[in-house]
Amino acid sequence: MTRPADRVGPLWILALTLGVVAVFASWFGPLQILLPVQADRIGGPGGREALLGLVVGVGAAVALVANPVWGLISDRCRAGLGTRMPVVYVGTAIGVTGQVVLLTADSGPATVAGWVLVQLGFNGPFAVLAALMADRVPEQQRGVVGSLFGVGQIVGVISGVVVAESVGGGATGYLVLAVLTPALLSAIVVAGRAAPVVAPAHAVAGGGTGVEVGGGTGTDAIARPGVVLADFRPTRQYVWAWLLRFLMNLTNAILLVYLFFFLDSVVGAPDPGNSVLMVTVITLVLSAVCAATAGAFSDRLHRRREFAAAGALITAGGLLGLASSTTLPSVLAAAAVLGVGWGLFIAVDMAIITGSLATSGTAGTLLGVANIATSLPQVVAPAIAVPLVTSAAGYPALYWVGAGIAVAAALCTLPLRGVR
């Protein structure tokens, strides 16, 4: 039996983080700038909200299926080839194709088709990146690596928005992302081949063998010879961790999807795109700082759920502040509070999810199902938002609802006593 690695190296962690940056830049540059601008151009003032909701909702519905399917495929690839990387190659090719379609889209159906391909494609590498953390990272490093996984998401969101805003929200943003995304994702392929790392202790403890994954060669590290149906059964802790992730991402989707229109219609920002960038940078820079700090502390204290609960409650406070905001300075103040809350949550999110898995042999599949909790909110958020923002209650009601959802997320941490 191959001995499990005590720690993963800094270059591999950097490569993993760059891969996350790539995927999130390709998702959130369009979500926050490019798609709203496109929807405004195609649908006009009377139809832009409905068109954006359709595009985002259909794309997220595809992601609901794509992520666990890619995870299952990556588990099969790992079992047969000793590597999950074929999923990265194929998924990236599909995603880049979608970006090219969006580059030339001038109608609602073309925009929907392009975004579907982006969601379908890039959920492949994202499923692999999550599974690699379960494959390789030992428990004593999961707070740090998981927080950097979250920081990568933050940097990706900022990078995507900066790219989109720097080209004035135009179609050129899709072209830049189509070049940037595969370039950054190549880092995890190179790092995996250059410095293969064997599976962490929890994988071997189940009775499997060590495995070099991520681009090297080796044998599969599943808990028992041959994955059986019982391996796919979620633990009670996994269910609560999934619900926590879903509710927190729903609050985030409620904030982000209609932020452009909120700043335009309610705040009256003269340049909504630039204001989105300001809100995004403030929120996510604070998130990154909090996540990096809290992740290290969670490893040291051997505590995860307390950080998640605090993050959820602070997020609720930020959304309440946003509900009462009518000026840009008050929006930026609420964004700062939201940044702290989100940072505390993402510092421990991946550690909580991976710590709730019963076996590593189905990690790709179960983490793919866990990633539904990230994509499903993009379907649910428009269904909640459109009736509220088009009614007399407007955006304040939307953010009040978001605050209530964040409080519910905090309550989900109470049963997570077994996750450290």
Average pLDDT rounded to a whole number, residues 296-309: 82
pLDDT at 47 over 80: no
Higher pLDDT, 56 or 22: 22
Helix and strand tally (H, E) in the chain?
15, 2
pLDDT at 21 over 70: yes
User: Residue 90: its pLDDT value, please?
Assistant: 94
pLDDT at 312 over 80: yes
pLDDT digits (tens, 9 = 90+) for 360-402: 556 567 777 777 787 778 778 878 887 887 777 788 888 999 9
Q: 341-373 in b/e burial notation, b at 16+ Cβ within 10 A? A: bbbbbbbbbbbbbbbbbbbbbbbbbbbbbbbbb
The closest alpha carbon to 328, from 264, 415, 404, belongs to: 264
The closest alpha carbon to 198, from 186, 208, 184, belongs to: 208
Reading the block at residue 55, the tokens are: 């595009």
Distances (CA, A) of 77 to 16, 335, 372: 19, 42, 21
Q: Which helix (H) or strand (E) holds 198?
A: strand 197-198
User: Residue 310: its pLDDT value, please?
Assistant: 93
- pLDDT band at residue 215 under the 50/70/90 scheme: very low
Higher pLDDT, 392 or 121: 121
pLDDT digits (tens, 9 = 90+) for 173-193: 899 999 999 999 988 888 765
Q: How far apart are CA 203 and CA 157, in angstroms?
A: 32
User: Residue 106: its pLDDT value, please?
Assistant: 85
Q: Over the chain, what is the mean pLDDT? A: 79
Query: What is the pTM assigned to this prediction?
Result: 0.69
